[in-house]
């Protein structure tokens, strides 16, 4: 990883938990558990490499249409990681921020999420955004309504301040595991000039080395932002 141009902000679409579990002849819930474990491992590594901001897509707004049994499992995992196992998150020594509409979660889980955010607010090791019940279109519509409600016009920059990522630079690199080549309603406004990287690995098996490969690949790209290459 020498002489590598590091992304400041890396976002992950952590897909493939269910298929990974099926390949191991286990229920989907087993895949989600392995997925959360891998999330702390890979994201900790990202911060260790020097990435300052990591955003993970943990639960989309559309995922709420999944069967009740699966949602119960997912909510239980969220309860565990912001409750009993919160140390796993705190160990990362980074500021934790949850994006998305958490009002669908049980009140005690919402309270745990807020307390983890408060507890980590002073941590300076980086910023870790966890997207729960997040949808980019919903976020954009909410922002438009907020602008309309205060009767003001927006420009590109002031519109950004109405999004849940206000104050956070756009992701430089978005990594999606699981083999699908789409964004699935993730950070649609913020991803305008993100570099996209798709891995066939299922999320629970995406390793630290895979992350390094993705960053090396990013590092070799020429980001022109519509301009022409100079020099």
Q: Which of 11, 15, 33, 173 binds Mg ion (CB under 5 A)?
A: 15
Cβ proximity to Mg ion: between 75 and 123 the closer is 75
Count of residues in contact with ligand IPE, rule CB under 6 A? 17
Cα–Cα distance measured from residue 83 to residue 31, given in angstroms and rounded to the nearest whole number: 20
User: Which residues, in sequence order, are CB contacts of 60 under 8 Å at separation 6+?
Assistant: 131, 133, 134, 135, 184, 185, 186
The contact mask relative to ligand IPE for 30-59 (x = CB under 6 A, - = no) is ---------------------------xxx
Cβ proximity to Mg ion: between 134 and 218 the closer is 134
Burial class (CB in 10 A: 0-12, 13-18, 19+), 149: exposed
145 tagged catalytic: no
CA distances from 97 to 53, 59, 86, 162 (A): 11, 14, 14, 16
The CA R_g of the chain, rounded to the nearest whole Å, is: 18
Q: Are 203 and 35 in contact (CB under 8 A)?
A: yes
Q: Are 140 and 120 in contact (CB under 8 A)?
A: no
Cβ proximity to Mg ion: between 23 and 48 the closer is 23
Q: Does 132 bind ligand IPE (CB under 6 A)?
A: no
Count of residues in contact with Mg ion, rule CB under 5 A? 1
Interaction residues for ligand IPE, span 69-98 (CB under 6 A): 74
**DSSP H or E segment with residue 139:** helix 136-149
Q: CB 227 → ligand IPE: shortest distance, Å?
A: 32
Contacts with Mg ion by CB under 5 A lie at: 15
Contacts with ligand IPE by CB under 6 A lie at: 13-19, 57-60, 63, 74, 178, 180, 182, 184
Give the residue numbers marked as catalytic: 15, 63
């Amino acid at each position: 990883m020498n002489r590598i141009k590091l992304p400041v902000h890396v976002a992950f679409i952590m897909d493939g938990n269910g298929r990974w579990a099926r390949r191991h002849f286990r229920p989907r819930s087993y895949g989600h558990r392995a997925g959360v474990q891998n999330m702390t491992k890979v994201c900790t590594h990202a911060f260790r490499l020097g990435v300052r901001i990591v955003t993970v897509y943990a639960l989309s707004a559309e995922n709420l249409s999944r069967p009740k049994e699966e949602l119960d499992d997912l909510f239980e995992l969220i309860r565990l990681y912001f409750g009993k196992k919160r140390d796993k998150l705190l160990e990362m020594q980074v500021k934790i921020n949850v994006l998305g509409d958490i009002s669908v979660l049980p009140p005690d889980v919402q309270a745990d999420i807020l307390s983890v955010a408060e507890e980590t607010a002073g941590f300076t090791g980086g910023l870790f955004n966890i997207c729960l019940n997040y949808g980019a279109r919903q976020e954009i519509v909410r922002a438009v309504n907020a602008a309309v409600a205060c009767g003001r016009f927006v420009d590109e920059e002031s519109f950004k301040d109405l999004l849940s990522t206000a104050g956070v630079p756009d992701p430089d690199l978005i990594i999606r595991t699981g083999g699908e080549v789409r964004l699935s309603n993730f950070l649609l406004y913020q991803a305008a000039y993100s570099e996209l990287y798709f891995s066939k690995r299922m999320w629970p098996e995406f390793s630290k080395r895979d992350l390094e490969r993705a960053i090396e690949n990013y590092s070799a790209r020429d980001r022109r932002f519509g301009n022409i290459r100079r020099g």
